[in-house]
Amino acid sequence: MPAEKKPEIASVWTRPRRQREQLSREQIVAEAVLLLDADGLESLSMRKLGTRLDAGATSLYRHVANKDELIELVVDEVYGELAVPTATGAADWRDAAARSAYSLRAMILRHPWVASVLGQVGLIHLGPNVTKMSERMAAVYAAAGFPADEIEQALSTVISYVIGMATSEAAYLSLIARSGRTEREFAESLHDAGRQEQRTENPEKAREETFDYGLQRVLDGLTARLAKD
């Protein structure tokens, strides 16, 4: 009789960890995040990562089967940076939702590549940090009083806003970095060229105020929805 085939590993999260090896999964993930932060998603390859770790690609494949699995790991790693406050009820849900949104924005600005891969990570293969933070954010909207069948929709509305705004900010900051100027110098050059109506003394604060304005209007809409019930 032919030997029974072992079931294929469906996700990196079901792959058994290899013990007592010189190169660990944690080292691979940490270096991959640094590579992505420095050079972007297009730069990520098993060969390049192996070179940075002074290890052959074969060593990496003992821990991750391919680039898709590596992306699962790095997304979960940066999700662990999120700070999601606990909401105790309708009185403080909005503050918790706003603070969670700010934390997500900050994470995306630190790791601009993450916005483009969030949709690529299958819901079935979510890692522990993504799962934990998603559950904590959903709990904020549950505490607000949203019906069970609307919690995910309310949360997705806010997350979509944050990702959209943060992605735009990240692209703007990347453009500034390539120009070799500070953000203030870049903003002043736009003003001098007539592409900005008024001079901005603190462009970073201006970006934050713009983000907060839109966030508060989104939360206004969700608050109004709660008031209908």
Domain boundaries, the chain: 12-78, 82-227
Task: Answer for the pair 177, 40: CB distance below 8 angstroms, yes or no.
Answer: no
DSSP 91-133: TTHHHHHHHHHHHHHHHHHHSTTHHHHGGGS-GGG--HHHHHH
Model confidence pLDDT, tens digit, residues 169-180: 998 888 888 888
49 or 10, higher pLDDT: 49
Asked whether residue 15 carries a pLDDT value surpassing 90, the answer given is no
**Best-predicted range by mean pLDDT among 41-50, 59-68, 179-188, 194-203?**
41-50
72 or 95, higher pLDDT: 95
Quick one: which of 91, 95, 66, 69 has its CA closest to 83? 95
Topology given in CATH for the domain delimited by 82-227: Tetracycline Repressor; domain 2 (1.10.357)
Q: What is the pLDDT of residue 195?
A: 61
Task: Answer for the pair 49, 28: CB distance below 8 angstroms, yes or no.
Answer: yes
Model confidence pLDDT, tens digit, residues 101-144: 999 999 999 999 998 887 555 444 678 999 999 999 999 999 99
215 or 118, higher pLDDT: 215
- pLDDT, averaged across the chain: 85
Homologous superfamily, domain 12-78: Homeodomain-like (1.10.10.60)
Task: Answer for the pair 74, 33: CB distance below 8 angstroms, yes or no.
Answer: yes
Cα angle 90, 140, 37; round to 5: 145
- Biggest distance spanned by C-alpha atoms of the chain: 80
Provide the pLDDT confidence category of residue 5 given band limits of 50, 70 and 90. Answer: low
